[in-house]
Chains A and B, each alone.
Chain A
Amino acid sequence: MANGTTTTIPHDSGHESGHEKPQRSFFGLIKRPQQGCHPVIDWLTTVDHKKIGIMYGCAALLFLIVGGVEALLIRAQLFLPQNDFVSARLYNQLFTMHGTTMIFLAVMPLNAAFFNYMMILQIGARDVAFPRLNAFSLWTFVAGAVLINLSWFWEAFHGGWFGYAPLSSKDYNPGMGADFWILSLQILGVASLAASFNFITTILNMRAPGLKMMRLPVFTWMTLITSFLIILAFPAITIALVQLMFDRHFGTHFFDATFGGKPILWQHLFWIFGHPEVYILILPAMGIVSEVLPTFSRKPLFGYPLIVMSGAFIGFLGFAVWSHHMFTVGLGVVATIAFSLMTMLIAIPTGVKIFNWIGTLWGGKISFTTPMLYSLGFIWMFMMGGFTGIMHSSVPVDHQQQDSYFVVAHFHYVLIGGALFALFSGLYYWMPKMSGKMMNEIWGRFNFWVMFFGFNLAFFPMHLLGMAGMPRRTHTYLGDMGWNVWNAWSTVGALILGVGIGSTVIQVIYTCFKGQKCGGDPWDARTLEWATTSPPKEYNYTRIPEIHARDQVWADKYGKPEEKSGPGVPEPHGIHMPDRSWYPLSASLGLFLFGLGFVFHNQNFLGWDHQLQMAFIGGGILFLSIFLWALEGPRGYHIHPEAD
Chain B
Amino acid sequence: MKILRILASSVTLLSLLLLSGCLKIDQNQSALDPKGPVAGQQADAFYVTLYLTTFLWVVVGGAMLYAVWRYRLKKTDDPSELPEQTHGHPLIEVGLILFSTACLVVVAVPTLEGILMTKTLPEEYQEGAITVDVTGYQWWWAFDYPEEGVTTANELVIPVGKAVKLNLRSADVIHSFWLPKLAGKVDLMPGQENFMWLQADEPGMYWGQCAEFCGDSHAYMLFRARAVPEEEYREWLADLKAGPEVPVDAPEMPAHYAQEVVHGKKVFLQNCYSCHMIGGKGGINGPNLTNFAGRATIAAGWMENTTENLFRWIKEPHEIKPSNHMWYGVPMKTPGAGMITMEGLNKADLSDEDIHAVVAYLQTLK
Contacts and interface: CB of A to CB of B under 8 A. Distances in A.
B237 interface: no
Interface in A273-331: 297-306, 328-330
A333 B119 contact: yes
Interface string B171-204: 0111010101001111101111011000000000
Interface in A429-476: 456, 460, 464, 467-476
Contact of A363 (B73, B84, B115, B338): B84
Interface in A132-175: 158-160, 164, 166-167, 171-172
Contacts of B30: 467-469, 482
Contact of B110 (A160, A330, A344, A396): A396
A140 B89 CA distance: 45
Contacts of A167: 173-174, 213-215
Given A362-B71, A393-B107, A304 B27 contact: no
B23 to A, nearest CB: 6
A383 B173 contact: no
A285 B203 CA distance: 50
Contacts of A160: 213
B1 to A, nearest CB: 7
A34 to B, nearest CB: 48
B61 A263 contact: no
A337 B32 CA distance: 24
Most buried by A among B7, B14, B45, B138: B45
Interface residues of B, number: 104
Given A396-B110, A469-B207, A373 B3 contact: yes
Most buried by B among A336, A358, A399, A472: A399
Given A167-B214, A298-B83, A396 B189 contact: no
A528 B108 CA distance: 44
A394 B114 CA distance: 9
Interface stretch (B97-105, B152-160, B246-254, B262-270): B97-105
B309 to A, nearest CB: 13
B83 A363 contact: yes
B335 interface: yes
B28 A366 contact: no
Contacts of B274: none
Interface in B309-332: 322-323, 331
Given A471-B178, A481-B28, A380 B115 contact: no
B76 to A, nearest CB: 12
Contacts of A337: 112, 115
16 contacts: A87-B322, A166-B173, A257-B192, A260-B191, A302-B88, A330-B195, A355-B60, A373-B3, A380-B61, A391-B49, A396-B46, A397-B42, A402-B211, A403-B212, A404-B31, A469-B209
Contacts of B347: none
Interface of A: 87-89, 92, 158-160, 164, 166-167, 171-172, 257-264, 297-306, 328-330, 333, 336-337, 340-341, 344-345, 347-348, 351-352, 354-356, 358-359, 361-368, 373, 376, 379-380, 383-384, 387-388, 390-391, 393-404, 456, 460, 464, 467-478, 480-483, 558
Contacts of A361: 64, 67-68, 71
Interface stretch (B50-58, B227-235, B282-290, B356-364): B50-58
A11 B93 CA distance: 53
B83 to A, nearest CB: 5
B215 A358 contact: no
A71 to B, nearest CB: 17
B55 to A, nearest CB: 10
A367 B174 contact: no
Contacts of B20: none
B93 A355 contact: yes
Most buried by A among B79, B116, B213: B213
Contacts of A470: 29
Contacts of B213: 92, 159-160, 164, 167, 403, 472-473
A355 B90 CA distance: 12
Contacts of A352: 93, 96-97, 100
A93 to B, nearest CB: 11
A390 B184 contact: no
Contacts of A303: 87-89, 93
Contacts of B41: 396
Interface string B25-43: 1011111100000010111
Nearest to B173: A167
B174 A261 contact: no
A368 B184 contact: no
A399 B118 contact: yes
A478 B221 CA distance: 12
Nearest to B96: A355
B9 interface: no
Contacts, number: 306
B184 A396 contact: yes
B210 interface: yes
Contacts of B148: none
A356 B100 CA distance: 13
Contacts of B168: 330
A563 to B, nearest CB: 11
Given A298-B82, A402-B185, A403-B185, A383 B27 contact: no
Contacts of B131: none
A180 to B, nearest CB: 18
Given A302-B86, A387-B53, A469 B27 contact: yes
B275 interface: no
B88 to A, nearest CB: 4
A464 B32 CA distance: 10
A107 B49 CA distance: 30
A157 to B, nearest CB: 12
Given A89-B322, A361-B67, A396-B114, A299 B93 contact: no
A207 B92 CA distance: 32
A303 to B, nearest CB: 4
A87 B216 CA distance: 9
Contacts of A297: 71, 83
Contacts of B258: none
A351 B219 contact: no
B77 A258 contact: no
B189 A330 contact: yes
B68 A366 contact: yes
Contacts of A394: 45-46, 48-49, 107, 110-111, 114
B245 to A, nearest CB: 34
Nearest to A396: B114
Contact of B57 (A88, A383, A400): A383
Contacts of B211: 402-404, 471-472
B312 to A, nearest CB: 14
Contacts of B180: 400, 469
A356 B212 contact: no
B184 A300 contact: no
Contact of A380 (B7, B32, B219): B7
A81 to B, nearest CB: 11
Contacts of B348: none
